[in-house]
Amino acid sequence: MPLALRDLQAAFAAHIMGADRADLVVAVAGDTIPAAARLGVYRHHVFASLGTALAATFPTVQALVGTDFFSGLARAFVGHALPAQPVLTEYGADFAAFIAGCEAARDLPYLADVARLDWALNLAFHAPPGDRLQAADLSTVAAQRLASMSIALAAGSALISSRYPLDRIWETSQPGAASETVDLNSGASNLLVFQRPDDAAFVSLSAGEAAFVAALLAGMSLEEAAGAAFQGDPAFDLSTSFARLLALGAFAALQ
């Protein structure tokens, strides 16, 4: 008896994930290429295509571990989680968490954080563009009112904190970069990822700046965010840090 459409779809999805089904083979037409071989080709194509998509989204991870190692990671991840949406640039949200729990990457403890940075850059690049806060926009806002305002970061912005020097790891893994060994114990990093007109980028933040940005991302007012920054770093300079972030175009326009 032929499989009902719903059962056929479920069997096909299970096949893609590696579960061979005799009833599915019967349901697939074959000619000079047997049905089982056709299904095998399709499974291989799905894994290869999704692996290519992951490599495009996580180029720094691939640069660090090499094509073969990355292909193994990608294949394992695809077998763990197929896309839930048709846009492949949105595939890989859980890749960093997968790497963190992957036995094969156990000796690369920084790799999951690198994947988090790659993913954040991907999200920032594809975020919808929007107007940015300009210094002139603040000229008519009273200082007292400004302190109580919540100023949002631009769409796609993210704060990535790591115990490892992610900025140096990223820089030395870029095409054409000089070969250099990064001391993984040289210090933690706090990176603000944000969208630029034609790409996405990141800047390194001090501990105080990171606390300030984290508070703003949590919806705190400028006054509350400054308090959080001072608590984490008594040397935090609000005026200097705010001006720096403003010049970078890190803030969304006032609503």
E-strand ranges in the chain read 158-162, 189-195, 200-204
pLDDT single digits (tens) 158-196: 999 999 999 999 999 998 887 788 999 999 999 999 999
- Whether residue 4 lies inside any domain: the answer is no
- Whether residue 149 lies inside any domain: the answer is yes
pLDDT over 70 at 3, yes or no: no
Question: How many structural domains are present in the chain?
Answer: 1
Half-sphere CA count of 4, side-chain side, radius 13 A: 2
How many C-beta atoms lie closer than 10 Å to residue 103's C-beta?
7
Strand order in the sheet with 200-204: 158-162, 189-195, 200-204
Q: What element of type H or E holds 183?
A: none
The SS3 of residue 18 is coil
- Whether residue 227 lies inside any domain: the answer is yes
Sign of CA dihedral 166, 111, 66, 51: negative
pLDDT single digits (tens) 15-65: 666 656 666 555 555 555 666 656 666 565 677 889 999 999 999 999 999
Non-local (6+) Cβ contacts of 40 within 8 A are none
- Whether residue 91 lies inside any domain: the answer is no
Lowest mean pLDDT among 135-144, 166-175, 186-195, 210-219: 135-144
- Whether residue 112 lies inside any domain: the answer is no
Instruction: Give the residue-averaged pLDDT of 59-75.
Output: 96
| Cα distance between residue 38 and residue 43, in whole Å | 9
- Whether residue 67 lies inside any domain: the answer is no
Question: 172 lies in which domain range?
Answer: 130-255
